[in-house]
Structure 1
Amino acid sequence: MEEKTKIKEFLCEIISLPGISGYETPVTNAIAKAWEPFVDEVKVSKIGNLYGIKRGSPSKDGKPNKRLMLAVHMDGIGMVIAKISGELLYFAPIGGFDPRILPGQFVNIHSQKGDFPGIIVQLAPNLLSESYEGKPVPLDQLVIDTGLEEKMVKETFRVGDIISYANLPQELPTDCIAGHSLDNRASVAAVTQCLTELQHMRHSWDVFAVGTTQEETAFLGGATSPFDILPDLAIVIDVTFAKGPGADGWRTVALESGVSIGYGANLHPMLFAEIKQLCEQLDIPYTLSPQPLMSGTDADPIQITGAGVPTILLSIPLRYMHTPVEIISIKDVMRTGHLMAEFIARLSPDFIEKIVWEDEQ
C-alpha cells in the first residue's frame, strides 16, 4: 500500500475517534499504536502528553545527542452536559465554536453506561426565551435529544458527561478529506509521515514526537512537555485558515498550497529562514504566515519555556475550522511530513551552536 493511502486511512481512523480536550485517551491510544513501529520508545506523561522518541545516531564524541521536539496537539473541540431537563440535555462548549453550526448535528454522549447517540436541535419558536426570528439561536437555547424517556435519561446521563461529534470522515474527489477534529489530527498525520520517512534516513538528533493535550482549552501540553523533554529546538505543527466562502483575504491561504511557514515575534527568525530555504531547495510549495502577535498555538508556550526554546510554526491549510466539516488536502499533509523529515536529516550535531537571533528588517 502506498504511503499516501496509509496516511489517509490513519487520518480517517483518528478523526473518527473522540478525543475532546482533557479527555484525549481514545485518540492517544490510536496514535501511540501508529507510532510504535517507527520510534524507539513510546510513553505517556502523568498529564496525558504522548511521547514517541526516535534516537539519532550516536555522536562521535560520546556526548548526548541534541533534542528536537515535534509538537502536535491531539485534542479536539466538543461539549459537556451542563443541565438535564426532562428528556433533554443542555450542554456547554469545550473549546471554541460557533453555535450556528450545531442544529441538526449528530453527536455521541459518553456516559458511564456507554456511548449513546443524540442529535442537537433547537426548541420550537414558542418554547424559546425570546424571539430569534432571522437570528441564530444561542447556545443556551439548543438541546440534545436522545429519544429516551425522561426516566431513562436520568438513569443514563449525568452533568459532566462528555459529548463528541458523531459524523464520519468523507473523502472528497479532489484528494481532500472532510470531517471533525482535523484541527489538529491532520498535523498528527504529518508527523506520522515524517517518522515513516525517517526510517530510511540517518539523523544525528534525537527526535521527540509529542502529542500534546488540552491545546484548545489551556495549552496544557505545550506548556508542560518542554520541561519533560528539555528540547534544544522545537517545530510546532498546526493548521491555518484556508481560503473559502467569505475567507479570501490576506489572512488565508489556498488548499493544496503546501506548507504555511509562520514568522513573527514569538517564532525564531533563523529557523524561519532555514525552513524557507529548505522548501525552495526541495521544490516544496509554501506560503508565509505572518504572526504579528501570539500565534494561538502550542508554539507560544514552548518558545518561552525556561531560558527559551527556538521554535518554528508550520501550518496545514484547513477550511471551516472548528466545525464538524473541516477540510484539508492530503497533499499538504504529505508535504509537511516530508519537509520535517528532510530538515531533521540535515541537522548537524553542532547546528544549535549556529543559532542566533537576527531579525530581518
Structure 2
Amino acid sequence: MSTENEILAEVEALKARFSDTKALYREVCALLFFRYGITPTTNKLYQYVRKGTMGTPAEALAKFWDELRVKARVEIDHPDLPPEIKTVAAEAIAAIWQQATAAARSDLAAIRLELQADQERSREQEAQAQAAAEQLRGELELARHALQQVQLELEAERLAHAGAQARLQQAQEQLEQGHAQQQRLQEGFSADLAKAREAVDTAQERAAAAERRALLEIEQERQARAKADKASEALRSQLSQAESRERQASLEHTEAFTRLTGQLQAAEAGHQAEQASRVLLEQQVRALHDQLAASRQEATQYRTEAVTVHGLLERLAPPTAPAPAPTKPARKRTAK
C-alpha cells in the first residue's frame, strides 16, 4: 500500500472518530505533520477531508500552528537566573527538542521505509507464490492432459494389438497356403528343369555345329581379304603413278601459263605506252589546233580593226590628199 492510500485510510478512520469538522481538521494536521512528516496546507487538508468551506481548514491550520508554537516554547523559571540566560537556555532546550523531534521523524521515516520494503517483499513473495501456484496448476493440467493422451494411446494400442493378432492369424493361414503352393511349384520346377536340361543339350550340339560353320566362313573370309589386299595394293600403285603424271602435267601447264602471262604483260605494257604516246600526240595536236584558231581569230580581229581605221582615215583626210590603198595597211598588219 502506498503512502497516499495509507493517509486516506487514516483520514477515513478519523472521520469515524471525530464528528466536529474543526477537530477533524486539527487531527488530520497532526497526522500529516507528526506521523508522515508532511507540512499541512489548506488545499491538502480540504483534499483529504472535504468537509465545510475553505475557511474551515484555514482556521484549523492556524490554530494548529499556534498550539505547536506554544508547545515548542520552553520557559525556564528560576529566581536566580538573569533573563538573558533564561532566554538562551530556553532556546537551547528548544533546539534540542527540535533536533530530537527531527531524529524521531528520521527514525520514523526509516521504520516506515522498512515497513514498506517488507510489504513490497511480502507482495513479491505473494506474487511469486501465486505464479508458482499458477505454474503448478498449469503443470497439473498438462499432466492430466498427458494422462488422457496416454490412455487414448493405450486404448489405440490395444485395438492395434487386436488387429495385429488378427492379421497374424491371417498371415499364418496365407503362409500355410504358400507352403503348399511352393511344394506344387517345386514339383513343376523339377519337371521343367529336366526339360530345360534336354533343351540345353540340344542347343549345345547346335552351337557346336554353328561354331564349325562359323570357323569355315571365317577362313573363307580371310582368304578373300588377302585377295582384296593384293588388289588394293595394285590399285594404290596405279594411283601413285597417275598422281605423278598429273603433277608433271600440272608443272608443264604452270610453266606455259607463266610464259603466256609474261608475254601478255609485255604486250599490255607496249600497248599502254602506245596509248600514252598517242594521247600525248593528240593533246599536242589539240594544242596546235587551239593555237591556230587563236591566231586566226587574232588575224581576223586585226583585219577588222584595220578596215575600221582605214575607213575613219578616209573620212577624216582632206579631199586633195591621195587616199592610201585599202589593201596595203591590211598587208602591213598581216606582215606584222
Give the TM-score band, short-chain normalised: under 0.3
Higher helix share: 2
State the structure with more CA Rg.
2
Q: TM-score, normalization: structure 2?
A: 0.14
Structure number with the higher strand fraction is 1
Higher relative contact order (CA 8 A, sep 6+): 1
